[in-house]
Amino acid sequence: MAINNNKKADIENNLKLSLRNKFANHNTEPAEMPFHTRLLGKDRLALYQFIQSLNTNFGTTIFEPVAITLAKERFKVAEKQFKSGDKISEAALFEIQEIMDRLTTANEKPDKKKEIERIRKVCRKGKIREVKPTKVDVYLESKNGELFLIDLKTAKPNMGEFKGFKRTLLEWVGVTLYQNPEANINTLLAIPYNPYEPKPYSRWTMAGMIDLDNELKVAKEFWDFLGGEGAYEDLLDCFEKVGIEMRDEIDKYFSRFK
């Protein structure tokens, strides 16, 4: 068992609280969609729109807190919505742009370890610029000081988004190394589940921009990294248990639309 009973209870209580908050604050009247309503029924449309609404903040209200709960036992530091820094050297910004340009034109393949070392060499050179990078969804520091700055993403990102993702990961490297040029840093994309299971995760648009071996963790690999071997299966069991326990409550909520 990777997740102990106390942590399971914390995760399950957080799930229940998140769902109940959503029930209390969600607009209970589905948007007017006359064709869909007549074809599917108002109750099914209400459920569909509720799930869509839930998906928009699933990461911040459920996945991020669960990730922190799992990681606290295995990591020295585990925080969500972490500010990575606000200063970066002009030389590092130039290096990041050079990396982005060469990846975009396919003159280089992504190699995160080399990219980090390129930025490290210039992390304190030139003028210092103030920046405001995207907050880190999950920030971890291992017991031996290794840093992991993680950006949680949806299961099927759009093609045009990957350049922005990559730049964010590189900027986190730049601002962190400005503060500590010797930092042992990793910046990663994490995707909570694999929509292609049982097939391997396949998002062809990542291949030219993201280092799939050193810059991406998907589903089981991500959750087991946080909580230890078996955490992913334990976590799925927690979600299933809450779904069973709250089934009557969920059915009652949607019964008003029949």
Q: Following DSSP, what letter does each residue of 21-46 receive, concatenated?
A: HHHHHS--S----HHHHHHH-HHHHH
The DSSP element (H or E) to which 78 belongs, if any, is: strand 77-82
Integer Cα distance of 136 and 57 in angstroms:
16
pLDDT tens-place string over residues 44-101: 888 888 888 888 788 888 999 999 999 998 999 999 999 999 999 999 999 999 999 9
HEC readout, 148-174:
EEEEECCCCCCHHHHHHHHHHHHHHHH
Integer Cα distance of 134 and 128 in angstroms:
18
Integer Cα distance of 193 and 171 in angstroms:
26
The DSSP element (H or E) to which 218 belongs, if any, is: strand 216-218
Give the chain's domains with CATH numbers: 1-72+239-258 (no CATH), 75-227 (3.40.1560)
DSSP 51-74: HHHHHHTHIIIIIHHHHHHHHTTT
Integer Cα distance of 121 and 110 in angstroms:
18
pLDDT the model gives residue 191: 92
Integer Cα distance of 36 and 49 in angstroms:
11
Integer Cα distance of 227 and 71 in angstroms:
6
Question: How does the average pLDDT of the chain come out, rounded?
Answer: 90
More confident call, 63 vs 254: 63
Helices (H), 122-257: 162-179, 220-227, 231-245, 247-255
pLDDT the model gives residue 31: 65
Helices (H), 72-211: 90-104, 112-121, 162-179
Integer Cα distance of 28 and 234 in angstroms:
32
Integer Cα distance of 90 and 88 in angstroms:
7
CA-wise closest residue to 190 among 167, 159, 210, 219: 219
Percent over 90 (pLDDT), the chain: 63
Task: With cut-offs at 50, 70 and 90, classify the pLDDT of residue 171.
Answer: very high
What pTM value is reported for the model? 0.90
What average pLDDT does the segment 133-139 reach?
A: 96
